[in-house]
């Protein structure tokens, strides 16, 4: 792995402006998911280190919160510019530890940077109000202030953007933050911190705790009365547990949890547009995103044609190690991820589904798995209910618009949904009927820093990005002035 700036490959955590080892001296390996080979090691921190990070964030809070929004924006803008300048190195690091193709990694770096750019400006617009008074000698003001110390727990599938999407609004609002990146992908987080330090963000404002002791670190963050806000992206099961743990200190929470995204193809869809979108929506990052199409629902009239054209497109995909060439799909994150895909596929075929394409581990070995299509899927199969998180595309058949909406909503999740249709009346009816926090019409990718990202039902609480995202790090204060 060759970097233009070798300093971005950092092997220490960052607390209170210092690059540190774990107090215990423990370290943990970082593996290349394509080969399983170790590419680095980093500190394996515990509750003691986490407590030190919380205390550092608490000490840094008064001075950071006292800065003007414009002063904070200047530093955030410098961080953004440094990230963009280091795009190639950051993408290389990400592909090495996470596995996604290099072009996808580079795209994520710019996507992650966009949140810093956006919130650097949005922090200047945390407006209050003057409310018409109820009495002549009184005045009513409403101010909006930083909530305080924030804890962020981020996932491995987007190891750059899921950090910036939380850190940028927190810092712009005047909060300080403790970040626990995923144990599989700490190098991207540490590289971001190298650049944040270079940008001049003060000691203690951002702290990075690397650890594979997720439960212990999470418990410390949620137990602490100093931490006033928790932002988590990950599985619904873990999110529920963190939510319970936050109850004792009544923290404000943002949870971006699991999904079971439907992608509906109606018979009036433009298949020239729908097919490539359905490939990208399903197989981006080897299917390892919370907004990937988990279920593809195709209307009777075009069912056979869609499968034929979809198979042809999927079988043109190229598979390989992102640092060894230009490919469409890289490895899965680890062996357990492959095992789950195989279990889901076996369950589906045992219950009558047929494999159209793929269906096995790739000849490259390691973490590689063939892009797989399985047809004639029914609601009784596990793929209809469980988040796949892998390159497996299950295709369901439906007859009517009403049936498609009912099938799409038949899940406890409500993160993202997609559909393709040209009839304007259908477009309005379906988008109104889908019980999801995000709906994309005639598009397969919906993420952008300018729109609110988040779900309903068991897919989470709160929104990230957009003008709404900074509200997650703000408290509202009502001020009554008497004797006027």
Per residue in 171-211, pLDDT (tens digit) is: 999 999 999 999 999 999 999 999 999 999 999 999 999 99
pLDDT at 47 over 90: yes
Digit-coded pLDDT (tens) for 255-306: 999 999 999 999 999 999 999 999 999 999 999 999 999 999 999 999 999 9
Distance CA 282, CA 302 (A): 19
- In whole angstroms, how large is the CA radius of gyration of the chain? 23
| Per-residue confidence band for 366, with pLDDT thresholds at 50, 70 and 90 | confident
| pLDDT on residue 410 | 97
- Other Cβ atoms within 10 Å of 352 Cβ, number: 11
Structure tokens at 438: 């995000």
- Four-point Cα dihedral 71, 75, 78, 80, nearest 10: -110
If we measure between CA atoms, which residue out of 3, 12, 16, 120 comes closest to residue 58?
Answer: 16
Report the percentage of the chain scoring pLDDT > 90. Answer: 99
pLDDT at 156 over 90: yes
Digit-coded pLDDT (tens) for 419-477: 999 999 999 999 999 999 999 999 999 999 999 999 999 999 999 999 999 999 999 99
- Other Cβ atoms within 10 Å of 237 Cβ, number: 11
Question: Alpha carbon 113 to chain centroid distance?
Answer: 14
Distance CA 301, CA 303 (A): 6
All domains in the chain, ordered by first residue:
6-257+459-480 (3.40.605.10), 261-448 (3.40.309.10)
| pLDDT on residue 136 | 96
Point out the residues that are catalytic.
256, 290
| pLDDT on residue 1 | 82
Using CB atoms within 10 A of its CB, is residue 218 exposed (0-12), middle (13-18) or buried (19+)?
buried
CB within 8 Å of 475: residues ≥ 6 apart:
144, 145, 146, 147, 252
Computed over every residue of the chain, the mean pLDDT equals 97
Distance CA 68, CA 247 (A): 32
pLDDT (average), residues 153-171: 98
């Amino acid at each position: 792995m060759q970097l233009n700036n070798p300093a971005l490959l950092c092997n220490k955590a960052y607390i209170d402006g210092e690059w540190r080892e774990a107090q215990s001296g423990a370290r943990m390996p970082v593996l290349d998911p394509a080969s399983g080979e170790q590419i680095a090691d980093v500190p394996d921190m515990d509750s003691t280190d986490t407590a030190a990070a919380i205390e550092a964030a608490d000490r840094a809070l008064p001075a950071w919160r006292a800065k003007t929004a414009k002063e904070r924006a200047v530093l955030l803008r410098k961080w953004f510019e440094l990230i963009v300048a280091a795009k190639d190195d950051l993408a290389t690091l990400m592909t090495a530890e996470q596995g996604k193709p290099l072009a996808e990694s580079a795209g994520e770096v710019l996507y992650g940077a966009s949140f810093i750019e956006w919130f650097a400006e949005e922090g200047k617009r945390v407006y209050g109000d003057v409310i018409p008074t109820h009495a002549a000698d009184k005045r009513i003001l409403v101010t909006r202030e930083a909530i305080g110390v924030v804890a962020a727990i981020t996932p491995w599938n987007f190891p750059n953007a899921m950090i910036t999407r939380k850190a940028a609004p927190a810092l712009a609002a005047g909060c300080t933050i403790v970040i626990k990146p995923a144990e599989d992908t700490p190098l991207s987080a540490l590289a971001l911190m190298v650049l944040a330090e270079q940008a001049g963000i003060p000691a203690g404002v951002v702290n990075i705790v690397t650890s594979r002791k997720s439960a212990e670190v999470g418990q410390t963050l949620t137990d602490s009365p100093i931490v006033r806000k928790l932002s988590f992206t990950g599985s619904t099961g873990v999110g529920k547990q963190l939510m319970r743990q936050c109850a004792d200190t009544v923290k404000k929470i943002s949870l971006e949890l699991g999904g079971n995204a439907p992608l509906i193809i109606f018979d009036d869809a433009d298949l020239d547009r729908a097919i490539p979108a359905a490939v990208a929506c399903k197989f981006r990052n080897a299917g390892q995103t919370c907004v990937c199409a988990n279920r593809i629902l195709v209307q009777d009239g075009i069912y056979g044609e869609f499968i034929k054209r979809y198979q042809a497109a999927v079988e043109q995909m190229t598979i390989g190690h992102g640092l060894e060439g230009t490919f469409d799909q890289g490895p899965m994150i680890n062996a357990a991820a492959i095992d789950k895909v195989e279990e889901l596929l076996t369950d589906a075929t045992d219950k009558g589904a047929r494999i159209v394409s793929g269906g096995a581990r790739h000849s490259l070995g390691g973490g590689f798995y063939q892009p797989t299509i399985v047809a004639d899927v029914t609601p009784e199969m596990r793929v209809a209910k469980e988040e796949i998180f892998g390159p497996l595309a299950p295709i369901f058949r439906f007859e009517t618009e009403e049936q498609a909406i009912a099938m799409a909503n038949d899940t406890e999740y409500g993160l993202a949904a997609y559909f393709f249709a040209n009839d304007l009346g259908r477009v309005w009816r379906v988008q109104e009927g889908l019980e999801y926090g995000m709906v994309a019409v005639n598009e397969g990718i919906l993420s952008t820093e300018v729109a609110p990202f988040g779900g309903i039902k068991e897919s989470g609480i709160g929104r990230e990005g957009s003008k709404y995202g900074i509200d997650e790090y703000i408290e509202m204060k009502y001020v009554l002035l008497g004797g006027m």
